[in-house]
Amino acid sequence: SIDDKICTIEDIDREIVAPLTEAVDQRKDITLLLVENHMSSVNLMRYSKNPVPFVVYPSIQGADGAELFNEELVLGGSDHFKSGSALMEAYLQYDRM
């Protein structure tokens, strides 16, 4: 159900993401990586092998200017990684900057 998916995303954002980013804002020695383990397509109503969204917070580069967050944004986003380990390697390099 699309309504359940929207409510779940809103709950995660309010109950998990917001408190985590607020805690990170209080400290200067933490960088946070938030990522899904798989893409779940609303249009296809099943899991897909498409790239998954991720965010590094706080970002050294700043926000990428996205005004919407949807499946098309993830497919056309600026950074893609072939595997989870490639993402982690990039994150660990980023975190040393």
* pLDDT(95) > 60: no
User: What is the model's pLDDT at position 66?
Assistant: 67
Tens-place pLDDT, residues 1-53: 778 888 988 998 899 988 988 888 888 788 888 888 777 777 777 787 777 77
> Using 50, 70 and 90 to split pLDDT, how confident is the model at 94?
confident
Tell me whether the omega of the peptide bond preceding residue 53 falls within 30 degrees of 0, making it cis: no
